[in-house]
Amino acid sequence: MEVKTRNTTKIPKTGEKKKPQQVCVCEPFIIIYAATLSAMFFQSISTTPRPTCLEEKYTEDEKKCIVDLKKLYLDTIKLDVDLQKEIYNLEKSYENKHNEIYDKRNKLLEDFKKQTHGGDAGEQGNVANFWLKVLKASYTEFISKRDEKILVYLVDIRAKLYNEPVVKFVIEFYFEPNDYFTNRILTKTYYLNCLPDADDPLSYDGAEIYKCEGCKVDWKHSEKDHDKKAFTSFFDFFNPPTLPDDPEDPNYCDINAILQNDFELGFYLKERVIPKAIMFFTGEIADCQSSESESDSDEDDDDEEDEDNSSTNSAAANTNA
């Protein structure tokens, strides 16, 4: 199934204050996490959909028919929840099996380092710097030269799923001891809302990421070496901004855009980079950002070519005239 991220975050109009909407994640993620919806939730909502959206152009008979159709839609949502519960149990069992494979992958990389470079991460390249190359292939624009010196100590990346006490997934970055920070594991946590709005259940469109949390990086050197200006890098990933509660806040739009991108990057890391790491390493899967840029560039080139052809044809027509 093709992975697609749907962005539903909307910027409020001036003077309009709305609760920030979440970024809706892609379909496989909905299948996994929406399964935690409880059937008890649907017993607490009204079985009669609100008719507020029915315009005056509908006759009374049409309005009644529409309400009945929406009741059936609620039944569809209930049925989908039951299905997703079964799928969720299956996904959990396969998560463990995936981790068994990832353990073997990690063991292969460890053995390679010991056999070829004695385990000294700071002097290794190519396969010995496996995760550095994977991240550079998948997140090229976010990794600075300074980051590369640190990421040679990255030995594994894992994603863990949780459904209690809250639904979330955690991306874990495992590091060897190094001269830069004391952490052996850096984490990024994404929280999901799986419940429909009790006042408007028909608007439900699957699980949504509604916030993320990073972790404190315990740098060994002075904080002066890590000020914001000098430290715009991959490691900013672990220090996401907090979205203001007020949509009219002057920083709201900028922070909202940053978080939208963060949610997409985190999900892409979980769904694509971790399981397909070897394909990123070999270059058989390209950086998603680069692919989009190349696609946009190709479209721009096509547009320019069309404009040139159009101008040439117009000139020829004028000459003939």
Give 61-105 pLDDT, tens digit per residue.
998 999 999 999 988 887 776 776 666 667 777 888 999 999 999
**pLDDT (average), residues 34-47:** 38
Edge to edge, the sheet with strand 154-162 lists: 23-24, 208-213, 185-193, 168-175, 154-162
pTM: 0.69
Residue 38 has pLDDT above 60, yes or no: no
Best CA proximity match to 159, nearest among 107, 108, 94: 94
Tokens standing for residue 140 = 């090229």
| Predicted local confidence at residue 174, as pLDDT | 98
Provide the CATH topology of domain 57-114+127-219+232-282.
Arylsulfatase, C-terminal domain (3.30.1120)
Kindly write down the DSSP assignment for every residue of 17-80, as one continuous string: --PPPPEE--HHHHHHHGGG--HHHHHSS-SS--GGG--TTS-HHHHHHHHHHHHHHHHHHHHH
Residue 283 sits at the vertex; the CA angle it makes with 188 and 171, to the nearest 5 degrees, is 10
Minimum mean pLDDT range among 14-18, 85-89, 113-117, 230-234: 14-18
Residue 45 has pLDDT above 50, yes or no: no
Q: Are strands 154-162 and 23-24 parallel, antiparallel or unpaired?
A: unpaired
Peptide bond into 51 cis (omega under 30): no
SS3 state of residue 235 = helix
Lowest average pLDDT, out of 121-130, 167-176, 185-194, goes to: 121-130
Mean pLDDT of the chain: 73
Mean local confidence (pLDDT), 158-167? 84
- Cα distance between residue 142 and residue 270, in whole Å: 17
